[in-house]
Chains A and B, each alone.
Chain A
Amino acid sequence: MTRHTRIVMSVVYWAFVIYLFVPLALMVTMGFKDSKFIGFPIRAWTFDWYATVMQDTQVLAVFGYSMAIAVSTTVLSLIIGTWMATFLGPNMFRGKAIVFALACLPAVIPGIISAIALRIFARLIDIEPGMLAIILGHTVHNVPFVALVVMARLSTQPKSHIEAARDLGADSIVAFFRVTLPYLKPALIGAGIFCMLLSFDDFVRAFFLGGYQPTLPVLIFAKLRSGMSPEINAISTIVLIMTAILGLWAERSMRRLNKGS
């Protein structure tokens, strides 16, 4: 690489970083502005908006609701995804590629299409719009990610590990729980956090499948319609910090996973 291209590359890189972070920085900054209106100049600073959020029972309830959906979705997705990976991974059967493609489809179908389809389907089988419908919708979307990550990890496990467990007296179920599952741990942590973030962040499916109770993104959307307020900035900043921490932790476990063992 010549010196010239190196300079161009680094300029492009930093331009991208600025483009990525300036809006976030603005959003965070406005959450500390002591005024109802968003925009410069900022004359006074305050933590009041955070206090407002902490006392806003609706926001807190919605936060809990979104968390409950994210956790349930994650648990369900991990169980189904792991089961699918252990089933699809080692077994060879006719049409395996087709089964696998079908299983992965929900991950790539546009959210809006899948949301409408799920809405119609939920009504058809008499599932009320609400928590259960959202959890099912999110799970369908998340399972392929879990399955892919777990399959990747599973393919690195030496066959002899399971054979050794069987040899030492474990039936196939005990061998799975005592040897395979611990081996999958980094993959499950990574995939689990990814599921939580996907679910917590989702607007489209939650909007179409939800009942009267909004999830956090749906609530923020509703609040925006009645006008921008620094309270929204405060909520967003809290969410940003939490998801960033979770995301980085997930990224770390995934990296450990790729290094093996």
Chain B
Amino acid sequence: MTGETDTIVHIDNVTKRFGSVVAVDRLDMRIMAGEFVTFLGPSGCGKSTTLRMLGGFETPDEGRIVLDGVDVTRKPPNRRDVNMVFQDYALFPHMTVGQNIAFGLELKGEPRDEIDRRMGELLDFLQLSGFRDRSPDQLSGGQRQRVALARALAPDPKLLLLDEPLGALDAKLRGQVQIELKDIQKRTGKTFFFVTHDQEEALTMSDRVVVMNAGRVEQAGTPEDLYFRPESRFVAEFIGETNLIEGTVRGIDKDTIAIDWNGTDVRGVAHGHQPCEGDTVTASLRLENVMCHPRKPARMNAIEGRIVSKLFKGSRTSLDIRIGGHQNTVIHAYMDAGNAAQVADDRLWISWEPERLTVLRD
């Protein structure tokens, strides 16, 4: 069997309103077993509400939530096989690390020796072996985060919810924990539903990223899809840095779209939609996809420009290039430090591969 059996969660056309505000608007999404899926978006986009509906802390106004074939839409949190790592970890302060981890297993009615076996396993797995009898307030942020993870994994849930669990960690630790989390997810084979507003977290860890905006899905895809092939202006701007080019569609052939950009003919592509001739469109060009040449290159999308600022940033150099014949149009570009030295002059040519200029849905 395919498809159906691999779906662990089906968010079936779910809508949630708070008063007159639509927090989640007809969300329809399948989450596959063993997947690391991240809901990414600015605050108020509906990602946390979606997570809380999966956890049972909010009830959808419309639609269903189906967990492993069972409709759990109206089941309270204690009656669904879903566990959560809270943003503030929510460790019980009056219990030791061990008691915190055992809590869910005790409520499941597991026998004591089974609880001890499972706890030992988790403490080992998350490198917490020495901390079993410590109180949570004797731990560092990273350790507390691992205890929260162990506690949520202990009852062996079908789906693990993670609500911005790295938000409370300092920047240096965050990078390390991202790698750990991804590793833990792989080794346990659990389905992780991760919520964050941090695009770097989303790109580093996820198998699939769902970008949400104003209660709806802007785009869902692999991190590479979202970064290199954004479909909407929102995604292009929210993830990474980019140049936005506005122009009119002049013609479409089978591979590329020709755009008239203030009189300059440029070529790009579109993903997930097809613009029509005569449309006014916005297109995205990532900074690192802009190539610089000292002389006019023999290729498409070659445009002459003048460097207005050049900032050395160690491994790369950041350039602002004013495009000839375009008033106030500046293209931002990154160059390797070595290549940047070649372009000694103020004047240069830029170009890009047509598939790197992505025409966006408006």
Contacts and interface: CB of A to CB of B under 8 A. Distances in A.
Contacts of B152: 167-168
B92 A179 contact: yes
Contacts of B83: 167-168
Given A163-B57, A164-B84, A261-B137, A170 B90 contact: no
Nearest to A260: B93
B248 interface: no
Interface in A116-172: 158, 160-161, 163-171
B107 A169 contact: yes
A242 interface: no
A170 B93 CA distance: 17
Interface in B291-345: none
A238 to B, nearest CB: 35
Contacts of B78: 166-171
Interface string B94-113: 10000000011001100000
A170 B76 CA distance: 10
B92 A164 contact: yes
Contact-size category for B = 20 to 34
B131 interface: no
B63 interface: no
A96 interface: no
Interface in A160-194: 160-161, 163-171, 174, 178-179, 182-183, 185
B87 A169 contact: no
Contacts of A185: 94
Interface string B63-91: 00000000000001110001110111011
Given A161-B92, A179-B92, A261-B93, A168 B137 contact: no
Nearest to A169: B107
B247 interface: no
A182 B108 CA distance: 21
Interface of A: 158, 160-161, 163-171, 174, 178-179, 182-183, 185, 261
Interface of B: 55-57, 76-78, 82-84, 86-88, 90-94, 103-104, 107-108, 137, 151-152, 155
